Amino acid sequence: MVRRNLKVMKLLSLIALPIFFLITSCAEVQLSTIPPPSPNAKLRVFVQPTSSTEPRHGWRTPHKKFEKKIYKEVQQILAKKGMYEVVPRKDVQSVLGRRTLRIWSWEKNDWALTRKVGKWLYAEYAMILVRGWHPKPYWRAVLINIETGKQFAVFSHVRVGTRGAYSPVIKESYREIFRDAKKDLMSTAIRIGNRKKVSHLEHRAPLLKKVPASIQQIEKPPVAPKKPRTLASLGREVDIAKTLEAKSAEKGRIRLAVYDLESAKHLKIVALILSEALREELLRLGNIVLVNRENMNQVVQEVTLGQTGLIDEKQAVQAGKALAAKQIIVGRLASIGKSSLLQAKRIDTETHSTMAISSIKCKQGKEEVLLDQMEELADKLVQAP
């Protein structure tokens, strides 16, 4: 009898052991780590499209298809700016797997999960892009500083259902986000630029093989909030449709090409942010049509201006003519003593004459101060000679 009981107990232990390991392995989610990215001075951004509340009959475009399409469009837009490095989708999937998360999972506990995943992806920023319905379709863009947790959010009601409906909305929402976040981007770029080389210790992913409890929540199905959220909680509301309508009226405006500011290598991203800020201030003046930066880059390559910047003004003018620009703006951000000097000038592409020239300066390492002077710089550059 005793022998029989021992055999039964032994058999039960053999059955229970694999069950125990199966249960424990399911309880601890394993996230794959990715190798550190190659060192560079660009701002690394983790892009994540997601969905919020949906219409009564569901979305016409399935989430997976929407996610893939929006990621591709945003990746292209950010890549053309020159200052960003977008985390490859395969790296995101390596860390997250193929789980589908809604916005309330990402923003829970003050975006704790977003920042945690961002750190695992070695990102400086996360850009969360949301489609929702409250009580009509809206688009929301949120930029989160992974290190500080600072957030910048805008949203707008949009018209969906037509081919390419999101493309212009994505571009305009990025511009609105940039206006709000440019000082934060600048501070991060200065910090990165001051590093002689990227330290893996500074951006190292957690060494834990087992995922913290906050990330284990990924495995749980996302649950929508019981109460519908207010529009005010989505961020700053912008009328993107009105902005696009205003931009379409180009008659009588000056076509202007604003080239990226030249700079030393460690100030490259800082110079790109300042270049973008200058373009935004020029657009606000209302009598200017800017040549797209991506179009400029294409023509720049065609006239072999090189990859280090527009050194020769004659070539810059030649490229401007090819872009049908009546005028161009070129400039440089340079270090002089203990100061940083930004100098820019406006040139007529027909006469090659300098129409306006202006400069602003600040202490080295305090280049974010220059952003406050961009409106003044733009005003001086467009004044009649």
Domain boundaries, the chain: 43-240, 249-382
* Element (DSSP H or E) covering residue 272: helix 268-284
pLDDT > 80? residue 341: yes
Cα separation of 18 and 334, whole Å?
66
Strand pairing report for 254-258 and 327-336:
parallel
Q: Where are the alpha helices (DSSP H) in 28-88?
A: 63-81
pLDDT band of 346, cuts 50, 70, 90: very high
Check for a shared fold between 43-240 and 249-382. yes
**Backbone angles phi and psi of 92, in degrees to 5:** -65, -45
Residue 297: other Cβ atoms inside 10 A: 16
Q: Which residue from 212, 207, 206 is spatially nearest to 28, judged by alpha carbons?
A: 212
Query: Worst-scoring range by mean pLDDT, 182-186, 189-193, 218-222, 370-374?
Result: 218-222
Quote the mean pLDDT of the chain.
79
Residue 248 structure tokens: 């379409």
* pLDDT tens readout for residues 110-122: 999 999 999 999 9
Which residue shows structure tokens 């994540």? 48
Strand pairing report for 262-263 and 327-336:
parallel
Mean pLDDT calculated for residue range 123-133: 93
Query: Worst-scoring range by mean pLDDT, 6-20, 260-274, 280-294?
Result: 6-20
CB of 346 within 8 A of CB of 331? no
* Element (DSSP H or E) covering residue 302: helix 293-302
Mean pLDDT calculated for residue range 72-88: 93
pLDDT band of 8, cuts 50, 70, 90: very low
* pLDDT score of 16: 46
* Element (DSSP H or E) covering residue 105: helix 103-120
> What superfamily would CATH give domain 43-240?
ABC-type transport auxiliary lipoprotein component (3.40.50.10610)
CATH number of the structural domain 249-382: 3.40.50.10070
* pLDDT tens readout for residues 300-331: 776 654 444 445 788 888 888 888 899 999 99
Cα separation of 135 and 54, whole Å?
9
* pLDDT score of 29: 37
Q: Which residue from 244, 235, 221 is spatially nearest to 138, judged by alpha carbons?
A: 235
Which one is predicted more confidently, 200 or 341? 341
Q: Which residue from 152, 166, 169 is spatially nearest to 111, judged by alpha carbons?
A: 152
Query: Worst-scoring range by mean pLDDT, 177-186, 249-258, 317-326, 350-359?
Result: 249-258
Which one is predicted more confidently, 204 or 185? 185
**Backbone angles phi and psi of 341, in degrees to 5:** -115, 130
